[in-house]
Each structure stands twice: as C-alpha cells, then as structure tokens.
Chain A
C-alpha cells in the first residue's frame, strides 16, 4: 500500500516536471533523459513509471482532466444556484491555471498542437473524459431544472470552455493587462447569459 502511494507520488512529480518541460521546449524537443534528469532519477528508473514518452504524454492529459473534473464535480454537487455554479467553475478554472500553469500550458501547447501523439488511445474524449462527463452532468441538471436553455451539448460545451481557453492563452502570451482572476466574474456573467433560459435574470 505504502509502496503504491509512493509510486503514485513519484508519478505526480514526473507529470509536474514533464508537463513544464514539454510546454517550454515542445514535445519532440524534450527527451526522456531530459525529464529523468529534471526529476532527479535515472533513465532506467523512469521506465518503471511510464513505458514511453507517448504514454507519459497521454497520462498527463488524463491527470489534468481528472483534477479539473473533480473540481467541477464538487461545484456541481453544491447546494447553490446554477448561475453561482457557473461563476464558481470559471473562478476555479482560472485558479487552477494559476496554481498549475504547466497543466494548462500543456493542454494548449502540446495536446492541441501535437494531435498525432494522441491519435491512439487518447482520441476523441478518451483522455479528457472526466471534464467532459462532469460538464455534461452539470449542463443536464441545469437544463432539467429549467435554468439553462435547451440546445445541443457541443454549442453549450464550447460556450464554457472557449472563453476559459482563450483567457489562459492570452495570459500565456503575456498580453493580459490584469491578473486573470480579475476577469472571472465578467466571464462568468457572459457564460451565464449565453446559456441561461430566456426567463432567467
């Protein structure tokens, strides 16, 4: 049990270091020896944790998705209004982007830009299933209660994820005049207005 926990902890450490390296140098310019060295482990030992660089790349996406999915799940289960939940999801996303910038950078600069790496075993929603599932559950409940307008899932999905992705991209490019969290409520309001049913204020 302890051994398993230790292994899990080490995997997390590798994810943290590797996602940063991948984002800075690119997927192909980062080697396993680079990662092993940055973590402070031998190359041989690295293979005890991940079979290949591609496996690590996919795992990072699943790991990020489970962190974000868990946060959305917690908010979904809170006893607050759908509008408040949207504001909170936006705020939490931006906070995570600030706490773990390497994960968001990884998503934008590696996952979206190197699709060939993810074409087997990570295609579609396979590696981001948790985020998508939690958003589906959140949107379904909102529409069932009459708070959100009925529509297809995908327009609603990109209405939430689009602004969030855009904001962290602008932050990454260094062109946001204010701290991203200061935009949280305005983005929350925009998403709420875009998704709410007509009779909601």
Chain B
C-alpha cells in the first residue's frame, strides 16, 4: 500500500505586507478541520507553524528542482516593484516570479493578498496577487493561470474564515472543481451573503432596528452600519469556532470580504440621506427596498417588540 505521506499534497505559506491575521485565523480552526487538514496536506513551510526546515533551504530545493509542491499560499499584500517587500530575507517579488510556474495552485488568503486592502491605500505599487481593489491590476498579469489551469484563488476576508481557507485547499487537493466568482473567490463560500443565516432576519423583514451593540434583538442594518445584505460571505452559514458570528453576537458585519473594505469609513454607522439608506441590499432597487420597508413598518410584529428572553410568544 502506498503510504499516506507520499499521497499528501504539499503547501508553502509565505507572507507579504500583513498583520498575520489570516495565520491566526487558520490556527483558530476547529480541531477536527485542522486534523483533517494536517492528515491531507503536508505543510512544508509556514512562518508560525513549521520549525524543522528554514525557508531558504526549502526555497533553494525548489529552485534547484529537488522539491516539488502543490499549493503556494500567500498572505498579505505584495509590491509590483522589486526590493520593496521581503519574506525570510528574500524579495517577495522574486519568490512569486520564481514559484508562479512551479505551484499547482496559488491561493491568496485574506483581503490583502486578494485585493491589496489597507496596505494598498498607502502606495500605488502595493497590490493583491491579481487585483488592486476591484481592478485587475495586481501582481500577476490578467489571464495568469498556474500549472493546474486555475487563476489565483482569492479567499478574501479580513481575516478569511479558517474553514474557508481549509476547505478551499482540501477541495482542490481532493480534486474537486471549484467554481469562482468574478473576483476569483470560491462560490461555495462567496455566493451567499452574510445576511443568509443571520438570526436577525425577522427583525430585518419587519424593520425592527437595533440601536445598540451586543443585544440579541433588532436588525443592525439601519443604524449600526451592518453590511450583511451587501457582503458575500458564509459567516452565518459556517459559524466561527463552530459557534457564532459577528451579527449573532450583536456586532454588525463590516463587509471585510469585499474589495472596498478599506475604501469605506464609519464602519458602525449606516450612511443615511434624509433618513434613507444610501446603499440597499444587493439585488433590489432602492425604490423596491423603500416600498417594502414602508409596508413592513406599517405593521407591528409583536413578538419582536421586546426582549426575547422576556417575551412569551
């Protein structure tokens, strides 16, 4: 029987301009997921996880053709100029150029590697791997694909959900065909909205608004800046730590999986013009949204009026 070790795909994780939030997120996955991952994927190098070999030795082995690997995971924004961003003493520009045709898959983990995110605000040359915000002016040329034929796969989020990182890589390692959206994110995780599965949906439907954070009651959309109906994520479908999500805990979604995350401001405030939200849920016109809201506000859902723990309906 062939040993499991040989069949495991291998992975190298490098960092650009990053707070390492995605590494923290990755390490916060559930023990079941993480064990499955470690049993399926051989992590050759991760700056916070592996210690048996130096990056320079692994890198040298790859460049000399002595070592093959499958997944190049990039965390953090990168620069389109040489000599700007370094990882373990090597120019990230050169690492990417040298490894782009060696890796089967390149995964951009987090919003910085996907879209440039906050670091890109400070310098024109700072980008994501394929995108700079929503423009296809990232590090790699438009149309770039890796050996597998796939483009860079963006697992966006600030940070990306640990299960999205793990399940994206596992799906590819098991040979599943991943469908991507126009921002090159796996549809399995980004075709839904944060709103889907939110425990506050009934409050949204009946326009019962929360005015403070951390409560169990009320919709966070109208006053508290919640981006749930405008943000692609499965935060309320695949819960964080198997337990909760921002909106479940009474914290609005801040839209961290989208390219415009760092371009907005006032994350805890809904932009209103004469009391009307400037942006409305994806897929409906402002007219339709106002019409429906007006009708909903006319009626009262008595169950939603008070504190849930005190209500008996």
User: Which of A137, A144, A152 touches B275 (beta carbons < 8 Å)?
Assistant: A152
Chain A: how many interface residues by the 8 Å CB criterion? 23
Assess the B298–A140 pair: CB atoms within 8 A. no
Is A133 located at the chain interface by the 8 A CB criterion?
A: yes
Residues in B neighbouring A133, C-beta threshold 8 A: 287, 290-291, 294
Q: How many A-B residue pairs have CB under 8 A?
A: 56
Residues in A neighbouring B278, C-beta threshold 8 A: 140, 144
Contact digits for A154-181, partner B, Cβ 8 Å, 1 yes 0 no: 1010000000000000000000000000
Assess the A153–B297 pair: CB atoms within 8 A. no
Cα A139 to Cα B275 with chains together (Å):
9
Given the known interface contacts A137-B286, A140-B278, the answer about A129 and B294 at a Cβ–Cβ threshold of 8 Å is yes
Residues in B neighbouring A142, C-beta threshold 8 A: 273-274
Residues in B neighbouring A98, C-beta threshold 8 A: none
Is B27 located at the chain interface by the 8 A CB criterion?
A: no
Contact digits for A129-147, partner B, Cβ 8 Å, 1 yes 0 no: 1001110110111111000
Is B63 located at the chain interface by the 8 A CB criterion?
A: no
Nearest-neighbour CB distance to chain A for B304, whole angstroms, equals 17
Residues in A neighbouring B287, C-beta threshold 8 A: 133-134, 137
Residues in A neighbouring B291, C-beta threshold 8 A: 129, 133
What's the interface size class on B, roughly? 10 to 19
Cα A136 to Cα B275 with chains together (Å):
9
User: Which of B275, B295, B298 touches A153 (beta carbons < 8 Å)?
Assistant: B275
User: Which of B272, B290, B297, B298 touches A137 (beta carbons < 8 Å)?
Assistant: B290
* 15 examples of A-B residue contacts, CB within 8 angstroms: A124-B294, A124-B298, A125-B297, A125-B298, A126-B295, A126-B298, A132-B294, A136-B274, A137-B287, A140-B274, A144-B273, A150-B273, A151-B274, A153-B274, A156-B275
Chain A residues engaging chain B, CB cutoff 8 angstroms:
123-126, 129, 132-134, 136-137, 139-144, 148, 150-154, 156
